């Protein structure tokens, strides 16, 4: 019988949630590591993004997708998942030349670069879908705290041309928390079945 301490159980969910290289590799690693017959819960934020796409009627298959950012937490897993769903994917980073032009060709844009309001209206082709995974604080003297949260996309500008866009705050962040809780409950059920 497998028994895990509370800290080990938290580690299982955290490991699955944040230290992934791809949805497929992580699910296999999760299943093998913890001797599970299932592939485990889906990668939180990434899975939720795909669910949002499906609900809005966005067609991933055949779309040109640009992922700005190549982190192991968001950028690369999102790119791999979009590839898995038959999008043509370009991953951009700090050394990508003429980034604006690359992004301008995209049907789907995922911003996960960590630079406040970097993606502007003139970077986005009309009708593109924009997913903003960034969360940055900028000075704002009108706020009691002296700052406000913004994404990697200039939301007020880009919403005028995008067919669909996630806001920051209130977009991807809350989805991530919801999916992490869902994964925690799922992992707890799996462990309980083994007791």
The predicted pLDDT at position 120 comes to: 98
Rounded to whole angstroms, the Cα distance separating 180 from 45 reads 8
Q: What is the DSSP letter of 73?
A: T
Residue 11 lies in a domain: no
Rounded to two decimals, the pTM is 0.74
How many domains would you assign to the chain?
1
**Going by DSSP bridges, is the β-strand pair 129-132/108-111 parallel, antiparallel, or unpaired?**
parallel
Task: Considering only CA atoms, give the Rg of the chain.
Answer: 18
3-class DSSP state of 186: helix
What values do phi and psi take at 118, rounded to 5?
-70, -40
Residue 2 lies in a domain: no
Rounded to whole angstroms, the Cα distance separating 18 from 44 reads 9
The predicted pLDDT at position 119 comes to: 97
The predicted pLDDT at position 106 comes to: 98
CATH of residue 93: 3.40.50.720
Residue 26 lies in a domain: no
Rounded to whole angstroms, the Cα distance separating 41 from 30 reads 9
Residue range(s) defining the domain that contains residue 55? 41-171
In angstroms, the first-to-last Cα distance of the chain is 7
Rounded to whole angstroms, the Cα distance separating 48 from 68 reads 18
Residue 51 lies in a domain: yes
Which residues does the chain have with pLDDT short of 50? 1, 17-25, 28, 31, 34-42
The predicted pLDDT at position 193 comes to: 82
The predicted pLDDT at position 10 comes to: 53
The predicted pLDDT at position 55 comes to: 78
Residue 91 lies in a domain: yes
């Amino acid at each position: 019988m497998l028994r895990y301490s509370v800290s080990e159980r938290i580690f299982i969910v955290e490991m699955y949630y944040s230290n992934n290289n791809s949805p497929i590799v992580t699910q296999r690693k999760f299943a093998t590591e913890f001797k599970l017959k299932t592939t485990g819960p889906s990668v939180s934020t990434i899975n939720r993004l795909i669910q949002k796409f499906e609900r809005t009627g966005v067609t991933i298959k055949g779309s040109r997708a640009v992922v700005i950012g190549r982190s192991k937490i968001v950028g690369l897993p999102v790119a791999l998942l979009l590839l898995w769903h038959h999008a043509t994917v370009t991953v951009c980073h700090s050394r990508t030349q003429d980034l604006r032009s690359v992004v301008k060709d995209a049907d789907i844009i995922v911003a996960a670069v960590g630079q406040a309001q970097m993606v502007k209206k003139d970077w986005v082709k009309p009708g593109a879908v924009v997913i903003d995974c960034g969360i940055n604080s900028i000075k704002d003297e009108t706020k009691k705290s002296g700052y406000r949260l913004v994404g990697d996309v200039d939301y007020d500008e880009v919403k005028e041309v995008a067919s669909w866009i996630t806001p920051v705050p209130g977009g991807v962040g809350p989805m991530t928390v919801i999916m992490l809780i869902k994964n925690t409950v799922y992992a707890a059920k799996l462990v309980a079945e083994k007791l």
